[in-house]
Amino acid sequence: QVSVPAFVYMIQNNLLYVATSNLDAATCQVTYQFKILTTALFTVTMLNRTILPLKWLSLVILVIGIALVQLPNIGAGSAFNIAASGNPALGLSAVVAACFMSGFAGVYFEKMLKGTPTSVWMRNIQMGTIGGILALAAVFIKDGQAVLSAGFFQGWNLFVWDVQLGGLILPLVVRYPNNILKGFATSL
């Protein structure tokens, strides 16, 4: 069961690399907030939940609010607004596909966590192991020579370790509240 979200998350992460290679950082970040709405759509379709119109409105306002916060970065020429020399259509397609994959994988994982007595920690270990194997295969296919010559942890810093720890905490948020609240918490 856990191989499905592990595989989808790995593809999503690779799509985000494609997106950030073809879009400036602010545009990518603003567009990626669409994942909150795709998560809500998958919650309705996969978990058979209803979302009241007021909650839909709050989700849309949240996405608009995040976009408005990022808008000054789009035209400011800041260090975070480095325009990529790629294909904006490809970048936009990749980030939208990543949004749908994020929504699907998150809701699938939530359904799995809430539908079985297996602990959050065991599911996290299972998904992390499968995802790690898939990601390592992708790393060695794409950057095998660089890893062999300079080591696996080249370029890692405090921020990269922080992302790794965040990946361990997220299943707790998904199991007890839900994916939509996770989107709100992440945005805050």
pLDDT of the chain, 188 residues: tens digit per residue: 888 998 998 899 889 989 998 988 878 887 888 888 899 999 999 999 998 999 889 888 877 877 776 666 555 444 444 455 678 889 889 999 999 999 999 899 888 888 888 887 788 788 888 888 888 888 888 888 888 898 888 877 887 777 666 666 666 665 666 666 666 666 55
The pLDDT score that the predictor gives to residue 179 is 62
Please tell me the distance from the alpha carbon of residue 24 to that of residue 40, in angstroms, as a whole number: 26
The pLDDT score that the predictor gives to residue 46 is 93
Which residues in 76-97 are b (16+ Cβ under 10 Å) and which e? eeeeebeebeeeeeebbebbbb
User: Is the Cβ–Cβ distance between 8 and 101 less than 8 Å?
Assistant: yes
Residue 30: CB atoms within 10 Å: 20
The pLDDT score that the predictor gives to residue 99 is 94
The pLDDT score that the predictor gives to residue 82 is 47
Q: Tokens 């890893």 map to which residue?
A: 147
The pLDDT score that the predictor gives to residue 78 is 43
Please tell me the distance from the alpha carbon of residue 45 to that of residue 172, in angstroms, as a whole number: 22
The pLDDT score that the predictor gives to residue 134 is 85
